[in-house]
Structure 1
Amino acid sequence: MTNFVLVPGMCHGGWCFEHLTRRLRDVGHTVHPLTLTGVSERRHLLQGTVNLDTHIQDVIAVLEGENLRETVLVGHSYGGMVITGAADRAPHRVDSLVYLDAVVPGDGDSCWSLVSDQERSWYADVDETGCASRPLPFFDARATAHPIASVLQPLRLAGALAHIRRRDYVYAAGWADQSPFTPTYRRLSEDPRWTTHALAAGHNLMRDAPDELARILIDVAASR
């Protein structure tokens, strides 16, 4: 069976993967849904120094603490930044990467640089602490402010992730308006190194299409 580490997007905790986690565990996989430092039930750790490096270290700490190898890292939205950095820094522990309607950064990219002005306007709406972006009104009630330094910090990669066996991109085709991830999906669809999928669901794929996502992840595991 396969080890999965699930990384949420901004303002969300590991709870957003509840249904997906259950489906993967039901077929015997080991699943670690993470909540990143400073967010949701870990919001008490929020401070101005929490950044992208902090969140990458959150993933590496689980990989090392649980002694996980041949792991599939799954990142939603902002989580694409985190899984890319973790795969670069712990190459001997990561087998595959799955991006769920997510940013796909290269060296020097930040989440801020990869999204549209609409998302940047949201990021810039910081709360009273001055160091965290407010959750959007329609988010789950458990969502909390997200450390803005994590979306501003550029990612630094030491290698080209050549060790990654499989890279999948799951695109949400059901946005109510223009998706900021459409250019990424179109570009990767033409890249033979990638396997791409389009689901008729909104950005919150884990809520809207858990069964379809589970089938994709199970296929990633079975292709080893």
Structure 2
Amino acid sequence: MTAFILVSGTFTGDRVWQEVADQLRKSGARTYPVTLTGMGDRRHLAGADTDLETHIEDVVRLIDEVDTPKVVIVGHDYGIHPVLGAAGRRAERIARIVHLDAGMPQDGEPALHSVTDPAVRDRLSQSVAGPDDDWRIPPPAADGWQRWGSTAGLSEEALARLSELAAPQPRATLTQPLRLTDAVLELPSTGVLCTANGSSIAMVEALVGLGDPRLEALTDPRVTFFELHTGHWPMLSSPGELAEVLLRAAADEGHRLTGTAGEPPAHLRPFLLDVPERRRERLGKVDLHLPDADGPRPAVVLVHGGPVPAEVRPTPRDWPGLVGCAQYLASLGAVGVTLDHGLHSLADYGRAAEDVAAAVDLVRADPRVDGERVAIWFFSAGGLLSAAYLASPPAWLRCVAVTYPVLAPLPSWGISDERLRPATAVRSAGRLPVVLTRVELEMAEIAVTVEEFLTAAEQCGADVEIVDVPGGHHGFETIDHTEPAREAVTRAVASVLGHLRG
């Protein structure tokens, strides 16, 4: 008989699991929803000293009370922190760890590390100096839950129930670092990804392909994945589907990531066009790809996506897709620019914006560049950085281009900064031309943001040209060596250069 220990996330307790637990019991499983100290009916037990260690001990005690030899332990959101901490101390009792729309925290990281909203991070990171200080974080109001995750799929009744069951979260549970043992790293695990919250198997595969050493463990055959097409609280929005997925995870089912031995990752495969090589000059974090031409030339600054961990090599300005595009631009008489910016985590958009602005200033000041004829071309998650230039276009900016872009923060990112919402910024773009390259086989969570942007652009009459890539994937320049993909690149480049020369 399978036993499930269910640990919920911030502000919530055992009662959010009621319908899931009922479904699991009907299938013959035992279920043990956890109410952590300070949460649910145990809120009166919390104090200023209630921290992550307190919650780990809560879970350890329950593991010791369960008489089933092996248990599947499920952590939702913040709940994965006490789950991992407890599993490391009772590894011999754990059959599988399930990350339910939860991150993959590393040793020494507090739960605060996964919060990207600056306002929330600032409040959580305030020190607690004494008993009179505010040691609890109040739960959000009914209209504020989306700052902690997508509420897609929640009925008004379910959202009201979520608020009704919520309790203040002891601050120290989110700020105390998690300590992982070697034993917990050897346990089988399953990730359940909620697509409406902005995560998917395709996105995980793309992140693994970047070569981040922290994600290598996800290719272990003991690691499986499932998707649920709902928001961040599937125990309330899709309890039946969640129960079925948990049973399948316990049976060692699910999607496994597979690498292709001997082949480079997608972003390091060759550019889809054969282009003549042009001179390349490195200036700090910026590379200029120079045309064979006299006099100042227009420039196109290519802004990569991410996040790209700082340890990844080669860095983005050396990726074949960006280098190929820059060289192609140089072969057509413009200065192509590649650069490295500091988007190493979702909390780094501010640093990345500063790096892009500094790169643009450097390029415009170069005597080989016509500083009054510049375009900026954003790729993937770099698309959020286009908002600043759409909101207040400088006179020298002749065009903004975006390719397979992310044009609104995904719900799981927890970013509410309006300065990173191109769909809002485009209303102030005036007649600034925008060239948007859209791939047919885009990840669903990203495609939604593109449609949001296009709806806003149509409403305000923005000048947006769409270049479609039939059969194209995210990162198509090195993945799809097809005639439609080549035509899309040549058309997008021709359009951008046309705006620079017009």
TM-score by length of 1: 0.87
| Aligned equivalent of 2:172, options 128, 139, 149 | 149
What corresponds to 1:174 in structure 2? 196
- Find the counterpart in structure 1 of residue 29 from structure 2: 29
Q: Residues of 2 paired with 1:105 and 1:91: CA distance?
A: 17
Q: Which of residues 201, 224, 242 is equivalent to 1:213?
A: 242
Larger Rg: 2
The amino acid across from 1:153 in the alignment is: Q
Conserved? CA contact 1:104–1:184, under 8 Å: no
Amino acid at match of 1:196: F
Q: Is residue 224–residue 252 contact of structure 2 (8 Å, CA) maintained in 1?
A: no
Q: Distance in 2 between matches of 1:145 and 1:25?
A: 30
Q: Determine helix, strand or coil for the equivalent of 1:9.
A: coil
Q: 1:116 maps to which residue?
A: 116
Q: 1:59 to 1:68 in 2, by over 3 A?
A: farther
Q: How many residues align?
A: 218
Q: Which has the higher contact order (CA 8 A, sep 6+)?
A: 1
Two-structure CA RMSD over aligned residues (Å): 2.6
| Distance in 2 (alpha carbons) for counterparts of 1:116 and 1:207 | 24
Q: Which runs of 5+ in 2 are unaligned?
A: 143-161, 209-214, 254-502
1:162–1:130 CA distance, 2 compared to 1 (3 A): closer
1:133 maps to 137
Q: Secondary structure of the equivalent of 1:174?
A: helix
> Which residue matches 2:465?
none
In the TM superposition, what is the alpha-carbon distance from 1:160 to its structure 2 partner? 4.9
- Say if 2:101 and 2:191, in contact at 8 Å, map to a contact too: yes
Offset of 1:14 from its aligned partner? 0.3
**Aligned mates of 1:141, 1:129 — CA distance in 2:** 25
Which of the residues 229, 232, 250 maps onto 1:200? 229
Change (3 A) 1:67 1:73: same
CA distance in 2 between counterparts of 1:148 and 1:48 reads: 8
Aligned to 1:87, the other structure's residue is in SS state: helix
Q: Deviations over 1:121-167 (max 9, x none)?
A: 564699x8611111011242121101110000001123152441x21
CA distance in 1, matches of 2:98, 2:205: 13
- How far residue 3 of structure 1 moved from its aligned partner, in angstroms, is 0.9
The Cα of 1:221 is off from its aligned counterpart by: 2.3
Specify whether residues 170 and 223 from structure 1 end up closer, same or farther in structure 2 by C-alpha distance, changes over 3 A only: closer
Letter in 2 for 1:199: L
Q: SS where residue 10 of structure 2 aligns?
A: coil
Cα offset, 1:219, TM superposition: 1.0
Question: Residue 214 of structure 1: CA displacement?
Answer: 1.1
Is the alpha carbon distance of 1:68 and 1:49 closer, same or farther for their aligned partners in structure 2, counting shifts above 3 Å?
A: farther
Q: Deviations over 1:2-50 (max 9, x none)?
A: 0110001011010001111000000110100011001121011110111
CA shift for structure 1 position 170 = 1.2
C-alpha contact 2:2 2:29 (8 A) present in aligned 1? yes
